Amino acid sequence: MKPHSMEEKISYRLFLMGFLGLLFTAALCIFVFHRAFTAQAWDDLEKESDLIRAGYDLTSEPQQLSFFVTGDLRITLISPDGDVIFESATDQPMENHLTRPEIVQALQGSIGKDIRDSQTMGYETYYYAVQLPGGNILRVAQDAETVWSVYDGALPAIVLSCVALMLAAAILSTLLTRALVQPVLKMTDDLDRIQDNVPYKELIPFAESIHSDRLLRENNEKMRQEFTANVSHELKTPIAIISADTEVLELDVPENEWLVSIKHQVKRMSSLVSDMLTLVRAEDPSSLRNIEDIDLSAAVDEITYSMRSLAEEKGRHFETYIESGITVCGEYDKIYELLSILFENMIKHSVGDKLIVSLEKSGRDAVIKTRNACGQIDSPERLFDRFYRADASRERSSGGFGIGLSVAKAVAEAHGGKINAQVCDGYITFTVTLPL
């Protein structure tokens, strides 16, 4: 599974925190608002009850209570034994109310309060009851629909506000993430000075680890190159002696299969040592001494022309698409060697008769591409590894040592460029990018 970037993770978590914070804040606001609204509803019912009780004390006529009904206010007069004496909401007979919670509380001498579904009205209703001096219970009620209607009216504004806050959270999380991540990414731009570009103190151990690891890798690579160069140089002399001794033996001993085998193996060893020395020199950027402006267009055209006869011997031909006037800075011999390796590789390993070579400008780079039909290649990125061959079954004597493309890669990188290989639909494409 492809890992997510640090920027994506931080942005997502900041957005999630903002979203959860918004939900919590909205829930808290609704809770506080509802409690305040409920308290206000009880206060309003208390005032209505006081007003109605004062008016009822003057008349003592239950039917006079209808004059106090306003809006959705509901008035009920209940006897001490629970019978409904007056109900403003209906003229129909009603059941005994003696067990109603607010009535029980009022009969006990306190103010009765309750919130429940009204079987008569079909709404969640606030009930407020007080006992009158004569013993009857005065109850006023208001539908909860009136309480929640405030939410209904404000709902569109609440939704729009939440959406706006979500967008703001997304934008702010993105900006904040970039502000946090960009200094870290900038830190890695110059690994030689990574310790001088640490943006946060928490990253100091990380930067020190990278610096130490880099130094260790560089030292190991330098030791490897030195070892390879020293071994190769040491092998040159004994190989030359064996080769000379073999020639002497040919003068005294008739040619036989053993002598032929020795000569063949000496030749292979000499070729291997030469390739290893070439690779070591190519991997060392400091070995670039004769730096000059190179007409890359002319060089590509020259090499393809010189290799046409070799290609034709194998029944293959070049198709070239070369943009003129492309110049790069580097060492001509090594650039020529890089191109020679690529073209020889095409001629040797192509399974088709067409060899395509192109050269063009792309931005501030020169791009060289070779394309040819190929067999099964499972890991094209490994073609540049030392001693790797795509066809492991091929004999070393005929298939080379697998160093050529390693040399090509080293030359390209020494010139500040890069090389890669891609396989698609039975064709392999090598792409070399060199800075102009």
- Rounded Cα distance between 367 and 341, Å, is 16
pLDDT at 116 exceeding the cut of 60? yes
pLDDT at 395 exceeding the cut of 50? no
Query: Cα torsion at 7, 9, 12, 14 (round to 10°)?
Result: -80
pLDDT of residue 288: 64
Tell me the two tokens of residue 158: 């609440």
pLDDT at 376 exceeding the cut of 70? yes
- Give 159-170 pLDDT, tens digit per residue: 777 777 778 777
pLDDT of residue 226: 61
- Domains in the chain and their CATH numbers? 7-149 (3.30.450.20), 202-282 (1.10.287.130), 290-435 (3.30.565.10)
Tell me the two tokens of residue 71: 């809006």
Q: What angle do CA 28, 32, 35 make, to 5 degrees?
A: 140
Percent of the chain with pLDDT over 70: 75
- Rounded Cα distance between 420 and 382, Å, is 10
For residues 315-320, average pLDDT: 88
| Higher-scoring residue by pLDDT: 412, 7 | 412
What is the torsional sign of CA 185, 189, 190, 191? Answer: positive
pLDDT at 120 exceeding the cut of 60? no
What is the torsional sign of CA 329, 334, 338, 343? Answer: positive
Instruction: Give 233's pLDDT tier (boundaries 50, 70, 90).
Output: low
pLDDT at 374 exceeding the cut of 50? yes
pLDDT at 434 exceeding the cut of 60? yes
Instruction: Give 398's pLDDT tier (boundaries 50, 70, 90).
Output: very low
| Higher-scoring residue by pLDDT: 45, 213 | 45
pLDDT of residue 396: 45
pLDDT of residue 239: 72
Lowest-pLDDT range, 126-135, 209-218, 321-330, 405-414?
209-218
Q: How distant, in Å, are the alpha carbons of 38, 159, 160 from that of 156?
A: 22, 5, 6
| Higher-scoring residue by pLDDT: 343, 256 | 343
pTM exceeds 0.85 for this model: no
pLDDT of residue 393: 45
Q: Please state the φ and ψ torsions of residue 242, each to the nearest 5 degrees.
A: -60, -40
pLDDT at 176 exceeding the cut of 60? yes
* Three-state DSSP string of the chain: CCCCCHHHHHHHHHHHHHHHHHHHHHHHHHHHHHHHHHHHHHHHHHHHHHHHHHHHHHHCCHHHHHHHCCCCCEEEEECCCCCEEEECCCCCCCCCCCCCHHHHHHHCCCCEEEEEECCCCCCEEEEEEEECCCCCEEEEEEEHHHHHHHHHHHHHHHHHHHHHHHHHHHHHHHHHHHHHHHHHHHHCCCHHHHHHHCCCHHHHHHHHHHHHHHHHHHHHHHHHHHHHHHHHHHHHHHHHHHHHHHHHHHHHCCCCHHHHHHHHHHHHHHHHHHHHHHHHHHCCHHHCCCEEEEEHHHHHHHHHHHCHHHHHHCCCEEEEEECCCCEEEEEHHHHHHHHHHHHHHHHHHCCCCEEEEEEEEECCEEEEEEEEECCCCCCHHHHHCCCCCCCCCCCHHHHCCCCHHHHHHHHHHHCCCEEEEEEECCEEEEEEEEEC
pLDDT of residue 160: 79
Percent of the chain with pLDDT over 90: 3
Instruction: Give 367's pLDDT tier (boundaries 50, 70, 90).
Output: very high
Lowest-pLDDT range, 140-149, 156-165, 337-346?
140-149
What is the rounded average pLDDT for all residues in the chain? 77
- Give 240-263 pLDDT, tens digit per residue: 777 777 777 777 767 677 777 777
Instruction: Give 1's pLDDT tier (boundaries 50, 70, 90).
Output: very low
| Higher-scoring residue by pLDDT: 326, 388 | 326
